[in-house]
Chain A
Amino acid sequence: MIRILHQIFRTGIVTEPLPAVVEEEITDIGNKLEEAVRKRFRRSLTIRQVDAGSCNGCELEIHAINNPIYNCERFGIHFTASPRFADMLLVTGPVTRNMEIALRRTYDATPTPKLVVAVGDCGCNGGIFGESYASLGGIDKVIPVDAYIPGCPPTPMALLNGILRAIGS
């Protein structure tokens, strides 16, 4: 136990402030955002992540925004296990034929305002997989999308930025 406590105190808080460029951008949308989060989501935004067919690269970076360095919970963002509690669906793609029905059902199970954010190049437009017998392409081919976060995969910073922008708009 003493070792655990020692490690915790020695490590301290490793969460970083956002870099200046991003900070600026966020301040830019900040006022709008705070109001939006307060009003619409009562200071907390609950996300359900759906992998609709990604290569799992995007999932790694979505994991990373939960790590102590990016610590998305400080913005009131947290991930839920059920779409029924979610304000936002964070969907990675491309949407495969075999996931289409599951994605539609998840969308239907989500209460309004059900913001949808498409993550990654494949989520935005199908990426390298494009459209074929197995891949339907970007998320917006199947459900309405409110915001896009491109990148292969998008960095944790780009993800945070994109999520904040999606609720701010």
Chain B
Amino acid sequence: MSILTDALVSILGTAARFETRQYPSSVVSCIVPRDRFADAAKALKKVYALLAAEWATDETPFGGGFAVFACYRFGAEYLIVKIEVPANDPAFPSLAKRFVAAYRFERQIHSLMGITPIGHPDLRPWIKFEDWPEDAWPLRKSFDASKQLPRTKGEYKWARAEGEGIYEIPVGPVHAGIIEPGHFRFQAVGEMIVNLEERLGYVHKGIEKKFESLSWNDGVKLASRVSGDTTVAHSLAYSIAMESMTECSVPDRASWLRALFLERERIANHLGDIGAICNDAAFAFMLYQMMRLKEMILRTNHDLFGHRFIMDKVIPGGVSVDINSKGRKAILAEMEYLSKEFEKLVIIYDENPSLEDRVWDTGILSPEKARELSTVGPVARASGLNLDCRIQNPFPPYDRIDVKVPVLVSGDVHARAWVRVEEIRESVRIIREVLKTLPEGDLSSACKPPDPDTAGFSAVEGWRGEIIYWLQAGPLGEINRCMVRDPSSVNWLGLEQCIPGNIVPDFPLCNKSFNQSYSGHDL
């Protein structure tokens, strides 16, 4: 038994039934009565569990109604709590009072699946816009995804601050830079921000619904395109979830190559982020220097693996591209050059007083808030949360690599930048280790489609943090549901919460230090 299951059983006793069709077996799944859903949350909160994800499924193909799932995490443990919801009474007890992270998950469940979280403080639509027909719930099986929806009239009610001298700044969805669309609404007094409200959903492409029309092997292509900058980690998370359901054993060489791709993706994106943070503090020199190094990584990717972002190279069962001894040498030489150049730039970053003035004590996300919001990745690690699935829930080959990640407590822009600096150093070390160890062998093994009525789970540490996939096979063995939880789904709330009290011109800087994905959130 473990801490989470013990806590659950101690309060629910035999009312909690354990599921056996959930893979891998290390992830415990249990069904509890609908009215005890919040009790379970309370018990788990007491043992310091974090809410990792919450989602709903339409189980009519199995002859049931709906189901709502909550996934909790504590250290290396994951526990999935499921409730069954009858189709004629689509409602469930909200967890938002126990876990703030449930706030947006449940708005999303309400908007896209049409199940009402009872007791939720704010049921405005999320991702679904006010001009959608109210009864359009795309994730329901009865919904025809191929038809375009008519536009209706509706209004979105924004949070408003009132008082003398308070004014409002609406920003987006089309932003000033080359970035994705989203809307931010600031309430400010003079330069100081009193409140920020995010409005996301502009790039909702119906990804989760689309998965349900694809074959298992085509699904990985879509997973690669959930968020283009995280293509390796997403395709890896999808593949691992599917492999867990089919007990497919991935050849060792493939596992190590996956780690190589994942760390290269981490380095490339972190380099870009450090440059962009400095650029938003008007230090363009660093942006161009970092972009130069990032371009070098992408070009090597293209030369060796055939794609600048290594897209579509991780497949269920393994990988589709190999590396030879020449490629190995090329990467080692590249890492040598990268480290040397990077360290020079880190000194410049560290010694620059005007930069220091902007990044220190700006956009502070306190450790308490970071925990409350269940943030993940560099955002969490800059705010004192020691979370990394490569360490706590290691997927091969990380069970054989000793990963060290930095944890800072100041939670400001500098901390988020510095976590990235340290992670680049660590990734360089991991890449060297991978190349040294890389065993001989096959690149992939056959991965048969999962059995009907099974579910698979995976958690992969992408460069933004923990990515969770939950796959469910329907009664005919097809994809019945694919739940994607990008780190952005939780971290966007962190940005919203760290902004009040900062000045308006610092917003771009804070936003860059989070650099969350709009596409990964909106799906």
Contacts and interface: CB of A to CB of B under 8 A. Distances in A.
A104 B60 CA distance: 39
Given A56-B180, A57-B228, A99-B173, A133 B147 contact: yes
Interface string A124-138: 000111111111100
Interface in A21-69: 49-64, 66-69
A76 B225 CA distance: 32
A91 to B, nearest CB: 11
B203 A132 contact: no
B291 interface: yes
B228 A58 contact: yes
Given A54-B519, A56-B227, A57-B228, A133 B203 contact: no
For the side of the interface on A, what is the size category? 35 or more
Q: Bin chain B's interface residue count.
A: 35 or more
B409 interface: no
Nearest to B207: A129
B72 interface: no
Given A68-B292, A102-B173, A135-B206, A63 B178 contact: yes
A165 interface: no
Given A59-B179, A67-B295, A128-B222, A133 B145 contact: yes
B470 interface: no
Contacts of B345: 7
A162 interface: no
Contacts of A4: 285, 348
A152 B221 CA distance: 11
Contact of A98 (B202, B207, B351, B519): B202
Contacts of A128: 210, 221-222, 225
A132 B146 contact: yes
Contacts of A62: 178
Contact of A102 (B174, B205, B288): B174
A57 B309 contact: yes
Interface in A125-165: 127-136, 152-153, 155
B386 interface: no
B291 A133 contact: no
Given A54-B228, A56-B519, A67-B292, A134 B206 contact: yes
A99 B209 CA distance: 19
A99 B176 contact: no
A152 B201 contact: no
B149 interface: yes
Contacts of A136: 148
A164 to B, nearest CB: 18
Contacts of B136: 133
Interface of B: 129, 136, 138, 143-149, 173-174, 176-181, 201-207, 209-210, 221-222, 225-229, 231, 272, 285, 288-289, 291-292, 294-295, 298, 302, 308-309, 311, 344-345, 347-348, 351, 517-519, 522
Sorted nearest first, the 4 A-B pairs with minimum C-beta distance are A57-B228, A134-B206, A81-B176, A67-B291
15 contacts: A11-B292, A54-B228, A66-B291, A67-B291, A97-B148, A98-B204, A99-B173, A128-B221, A132-B206, A132-B209, A133-B146, A133-B209, A134-B209, A153-B228, A155-B302
